[in-house]
Amino acid sequence: MSTEVKKPLIIILGPTAVGKTTAAMVLARRFGGEIVSADSRQLYRGMNIGTAKPTADEMNLVPHHLIDVADPDQVWSLGIYQREAYRAIGQIHGRGKLPFLVGGTGQYIRSIMEGWLIPPQEPDIALRKAITHWAEIIGSEALYDRLERIDPDAARQIDHRNVRRTIRALEVIFKTGERFSDLRQKQTCRYHLFVMGINRPREVLYDRIDQRVDEMLNQGLVQEVQGLLEAQLSPDLPTLSAIGYAEIIQYLQGQLSLEEAVALIKRNTRIFVRRQANWFKPDDERIKWFTVNTSDEDAQLIDAMDTYVKENL
């Protein structure tokens, strides 16, 4: 009886601003690959600067997928992302190319790595409205606290500021009577995985974050957010709760000075980086970690990753 040979999938993961995009671009060009984004904010059109989206020139050099596929007022669930990622990876394989899944949204990457079977739970609109009303009464932090008590595993995988996902988790729990985290079954991964993680010392990473935020301001982040609001997008949209957008909206609404908003973006990004670390542990044997201490070592990093792929592919 023959066994189907799994096709390869290169995964490059790591925290925000660690250097995933540059490494993936170089390696994809060397190996004739195409990149599938695993970034929950790069899905949305018009959100370019604040999400550090690849430039048009970069996307001309290497084909990219799952970037600019939705408007900011459309919400992509994890199930939609997983389905479309599988579709993109299959199309890349069909062209005889090597797919690279690249990003820092841990939930997206783990759903592919571990073959999650996303619960096909239909939305209960009445229940969702009731939980939303409850959130308005007790506040988003208190709502998240309720989820943390009921299902701590699910809470660890949700940003405490993401009210929409907190409501969705509670909706499923109340609807099914089961923990949201228990409903995520797993199956065998579809692919032969080569998973590479990039890391830098925390103080180096924080410096890179600060530099990136300053560059975003210079590139026109304020104008980008202003344009989204002028397009009649509600500032309360879940997509505009993303770090960088929420703080600039507060500035534009007169709640913060620009200096305060920038400082808050940097602070919130550092907190986010620490949360990202919960998804990908240093002792995870599935991940080959590469640590870079200085920017002078970036070329050596890419060469080391190149060697790892050649030796294992």
| Residues 269 and 246: beta-carbon distance below 8 Å | no
Question: Residue 121's pLDDT is what?
Answer: 59
Helix (H) or strand (E) holding 99: strand 98-103
Question: Residue 1's pLDDT is what?
Answer: 42
* 56 annotated among ligand-binding-site residues: no
User: In whole numbers, what is the pLDDT of the chain averaged over residues?
Assistant: 91
DSSP code, position 280? S
Domains contained in the chain, CATH given? 8-118+186-312 (3.40.50.300), 125-183 (1.10.20.140)
> At 122, is the pLDDT very low, low, confident or very high (cuts 50, 70, 90)?
low
* 16 annotated among ligand-binding-site residues: yes
Among 82, 118, 79, 117, CA closest to 101: 82
The whole-angstrom separation of Cα 105 and Cα 103 is 6
> At 120, is the pLDDT very low, low, confident or very high (cuts 50, 70, 90)?
low
Checking DSSP bridges between strand 185-186 and strand 192-199, what pairing results, if any? unpaired
Tens-digit pLDDT profile for residues 218-268: 999 999 999 999 999 999 998 999 999 999 999 999 999 999 999 999 999
Helix (H) or strand (E) holding 83: helix 78-94
* 19 annotated among ligand-binding-site residues: yes
pLDDT at 158 over 60: yes
Dihedral angle at the C-alpha atoms of 54, 272, 115, 176, nearest 10 degrees? -130
- Residue of 53 and 173 predicted with greater confidence: 53
Write down how long the chain is: 313
pLDDT at 2 over 60: no
Tens-digit pLDDT profile for residues 76-107: 888 899 999 999 999 999 999 999 999 999 98
Among left, alpha and beta (phi > 0; psi -120 to 50; other), residue 103 is left
